[in-house]
Structure 1
Amino acid sequence: MRIGISGAHGVGKTTLARKLQRITKLHRIHEVARTVAAEMGFTDNDQIMAADRETVRIFQQRIYYRQLWAEENEFISDRTVFDVIAYMRLYGLDQGLIIDFTRHAAQHSKEYDLIIFCPIPTGEIKNDGFRLTDIVSQAYIDSYLKDLLINHAQCPVVYLPKDRKAWLASAYHQIRGKS
């Protein structure tokens, strides 16, 4: 199975992916953006936000292609290619580039068995030293991701309820229905 978990920063994608990985025994793809950031010498999001446009473009494109590369076999991932595109837009990359990547992501999405969308639950974003912590950017990513998934995903998409306590059971039920 190929399962992508989508949603804004700080909603609990990684936590859900870890739990589902333990149950399903699928290989877990984790923190592609953080890996690329470390390779490029970024230690936090402030550095990325302060970088010149070309560096940010290179950073986002590397994340996209690394995500694709990681999705070669069966997996559960705490991101999808659509998540990367949402961040490309947040970081102000060229609209033509975003359109090209969106077309590619739509084609690639045929390879997912399921995308699980995690909405913004109630509560604050936990500052882990890397992720953005403002609710405005979180709401922006949430809204744009929903739009991308509704209009471009060519695979089944499950939208989880806002109550995080129900996520694991709901997601696992959907996965079992696909296998």
Structure 2
Amino acid sequence: MYRLILIFVLVLSGCQSTPTPDAGWIAFGNGYYQLSDTWPNQSQQLLQQVIWVNQQQQQQFIISALLQPEAIVLIAVSPLGQELWRLNYQPDHQLQVSGIAPFSQPEFAKSLLAQMQMALLSTDQVQANLQQLTLQQTGNERSLFDKDGKLLLQITNPAQFAAGQKITITAAMYSLQITTLQQDFLP
């Protein structure tokens, strides 16, 4: 009986000392991307038209994106002006999401944010956050591969988000077409 209790205590204490994965890491295939929980570039606000398509549906909405060191905030609004979903990502990987599914589901929201960061940040900034993943850029196209060479994500026209620019993100389950309508730099 004492041995059983001792084994239970050792197993329990071993579980408590096992490190848990950082909340900022997102799995892609059999690799990981660490979300940037602050905007590393000049603070700005973007107004973007987004067309999101998966196998069952297509949604069109406008995103107001506030990108600054204190937080990354995305607010999606329907063409009629109704708020659809909101994502607020702050230092120490604090995530708050609300709104309609699947955008309000934390794992989906983090994956979407990771893909948007991979599309908006420079190649060097993205590569610094990859683990067991490879990012290749050829011309105006970026491709994300896992360690086995499987294509996970394709981004056309990355890091081009001035007004009038269009970025396309193609993932396994959906695609995003993002057109910047307005870009305002903040002090």
Larger Rg: 2
User: Of Structure 1 and Structure 2, which has the larger fraction of its residues in strand?
Assistant: 2
Q: What is the TM-score with the length of structure 1 in the denominator?
A: 0.29
The TM-score normalised by the length of structure 2 is 0.28
Instruction: Write 1 or 2 for the structure with the bigger share of helix.
Output: 1
Whose relative contact order is higher, 1 or 2, with alpha carbons under 8 Å and at least 6 apart?
A: 1
